[in-house]
Amino acid sequence: MSTHYEVRYATNPTDFKSYDTARIRNDFLIPALFEAGKVNWVYTHYDRYMAGAAVPTGEALLLESIDPLKADYFLERREIGIINIGQQGTVEVDGETYQLGYKEALYIGMGCQEVRFSSDNPDQPARFYLNSAPAHQAFPTKHITQAEAEIVELGSLETANARTIRKLIVNSIVKTNQVQMGMTELKTGSVWNTMPAHTHDRRMEIYLYIEVPAGQSVCHFMGQPQETRHMWLQNEQAIISPPWSIHCGSGTSSYTFIWGMAGENLDYGDMDDCAPDELR
């Protein structure tokens, strides 16, 4: 079987205050999703959100159901968002094929029964990043290119947070039940993402840090605004962010991160900001 998974349980913010570095990394860090020839998943108990990856290096990889879903096929009661961070690849959805280039996205709705991932060149494979959440309604599959993304420019070089936000799978571009995905690219010379920091109590989120140069790191900050903790991450590592937690980071170089989230609210701007001088 080419599919592997693990389960992560939700954490009470009061309990979180007592966690040491090892416990924080064990509960929230996703250190190695991308593995050649495999589909890997982390199933969380935050809105039943799942983060995964598929790296096809030989035969096409099948999107298989896993035991926590108790489903005959993966998308029986779910939807999925996909962003390719590798070379050119193909996603086949019930017999229809979609070519995904670098940083292109695909949304697949509930009810699609057979999904397969393949690479155009197995020696230089596609690296499909996967996010999935429960769904109650079927929406059409849609391919989103970088040119179709909704672009937002934020921050400035003076505050070291000049960045480009590319909204790929959001309700202004494609209809979804819960899943929203996009990426934030830091400008050269900027290192702070998502600053000012914020929380959004009606949504959880997962960050995947990419394009972190070899030998460099990103320091990710989390926790309640008045009780923060930090964790060091390297390239292609992800971090789970509970609804009560801030989620921001600062790198030793510029980088990109993919954000994915789900919950009862699809309003991207619904968040509770926390000014930099209010953080503790």
Lowest-confidence region among 108-117, 249-258, 261-270: 261-270
For the chain, domain boundaries: 3-13+33-145, 147-278
Give the SS3 label for residue 163: strand
Given a contact cutoff of 8 angstroms between Cβ atoms, the answer to whether 75 and 111 are in contact is yes
Which amino acid is present at 109? G
pLDDT exceeds cutoff 70 at 1: no
* β-pair partners for 154: 163
Average pLDDT over residues 180-189: 96
pLDDT in tens, 68-116: 999 999 999 999 999 999 999 999 999 999 999 999 999 999 999 999 9
Max mean pLDDT among 58-72, 195-209, 263-277 falls in 58-72
Q: Cα–Cα distance between 20 and 230 in angstroms, integer? A: 10
Task: Give 70 or 200, the one with higher predicted confidence.
Answer: 70
Look at the domain 3-13+33-145 and name its fold.
Answer: Jelly Rolls (2.60.120)
Place of tokens 């909204």: 167
Q: How confident is the model at residue 196 (pLDDT cuts 50, 70, 90)?
A: confident
pLDDT exceeds cutoff 70 at 36: yes
Structure tokens, 271: 């968040």
**pLDDT given at position 274:** 87
Average pLDDT over residues 133-151: 97
Average pLDDT over residues 198-227: 95
Closest by CA to 82, choosing from 138, 124, 126, is 126
Cis peptide before 31 (omega within 30 of 0): no
Give yes or no on whether 3-13+33-145 and 147-278 have one common fold: yes
pLDDT in tens, 234-247: 999 999 999 999 99
The CATH number of the structural domain formed by 147-278 is: 2.60.120.10
